[in-house]
Amino acid sequence: MFSGTMVAIITPFYNGKVDYNTLDELIGFHLKSGIDGIVPCGTTGESPTLSHDEHRHVIERVIKKVAGKVPVIPGTGSNSTAEAIELTAFAKKIGADASLQVTPYYNKPTQEGFYQHFKAVAEEVDLPVVLYNIPGRCGAGMTASTIARLAKLENVVAVKEATGKLDQASEIASLCDLTILSGDDSLTLPLASVGGKGVISVVANIIPGDVKAMTDLILEGDFIAARKWHNKLFRLSKVMLSMATNPIPIKAAMEILDMASDEMRLPMTPLSSSQKQELKTLLSDYGLSV
């Protein structure tokens, strides 16, 4: 369940509201691509600007549309432990396969605070937990030893590693057998070299089949063939996702490709016209029809 290519799916908007029709179309597109899992309401899904009702409705819509074909791992984390437990319980009730739990943001917990937060979620709701360690977005992150400590809890099954540090992943792998998933598209193959089993991918929003081709080869142990995909994917992943804060660039790319609007909610704002032209050239160079 927790390996391969899982797409961190966007939340499409239209005129300020969640565009559920486009969301349905995107889910259908990913299922046809052979995606290994769908992750709604993560960072890429703009969960911080979704209302609580919208957050629940998006999760429920994805689970119903997927209908058990692949695992659905919704983001149900919060900087409030009580809210994280409540939303995770809702996700379990409506049939989620696991939950993605981001490190509490803004609060800047101690390592003990991180441990107690995730322990409470894992023990209160009987649903597999994928830890999401992304200090660049949250102001603080977990050490490898804290993650290894959490790995001893029955429901903690994987970690989405988005620190950008291979040493961090190596240390986690040396301390426990927790499944490690890349949180950075450009690092999926490098992380696999130290034990990573796949990626929760942003760029898979537009090229899920290509990302999956790479992770399939990784899981088969064919790193030489996987490297060819890594080299093809690298520039698109690195340049696009460096243009602005995620999900600004991926939404711009999806608009260029007529997949979804680039509409976001403040404080997120679209790419400039010059950046969009640069992105259009990047997509064309990759081989996409723009």
Q: Of the listed 65, 115, 119, 160, which one is catalytic? A: 160
At 236 the pLDDT is 97
Q: Are 132 and 100 in contact (CB under 8 A)?
A: yes
User: Is the whole-model pTM more than 0.85?
Assistant: yes
Q: What is the mean pLDDT of the chain?
A: 97
Q: How long is the chain? A: 290
For 6, counting Cβ atoms within 10 Å of its Cβ (0-12 exposed, 13-18 middle, 19+ buried), the class is buried
Write out pLDDT tens, residues 234-289.
999 999 999 999 999 999 999 999 999 999 999 999 999 999 999 999 999 999 99
Write out pLDDT tens, residues 60-86.
999 999 999 999 999 999 999 999 999
Q: Of the listed 132, 212, 276, 286, which one is catalytic? A: 132
Q: Are 183 and 161 in contact (CB under 8 A)?
A: yes
Question: C-alpha distances in angstroms, 276 versus 138, 179, 205, 207, 252?
Answer: 27, 36, 17, 18, 7
* Confidence class for position 137, pLDDT limits 50, 70, 90: confident
Q: Give me the domains of the chain, ranges plus CATH numbers.
A: 4-220 (3.20.20.70)
* Confidence class for position 139, pLDDT limits 50, 70, 90: confident
CB burial of 257-290 (b: ≥16 within 10 Å; e: otherwise) equals bebbbbbbeeebebbeeeebeebbebbeebeeee
Q: Answer yes or no: is pLDDT of 111 > 80.
A: yes
HEC sequence for 206-242: CCHHHHHHHHHHHHHCCHHHHHHHHHHHHHHHHHHCC
* Confidence class for position 135, pLDDT limits 50, 70, 90: confident
Q: Is 286 a catalytic residue?
A: no
Write out pLDDT tens, residues 147-182.
999 999 999 999 999 999 999 999 999 999 999 999
Q: Provide the 3-class DSSP secondary structure of residue 204.
A: helix
Q: Answer yes or no: is pLDDT of 1 > 80.
A: no
pLDDT > 90: what percent of the chain?
97
Residue 210, both tokens: 């290509």
Q: Is 132 a catalytic residue?
A: yes
Range list of β-strands (E), 92-197? 99-102, 129-133, 156-161, 179-182
State the greatest distance between any 2 C-alpha atoms of the chain, in Å, as a whole number: 49
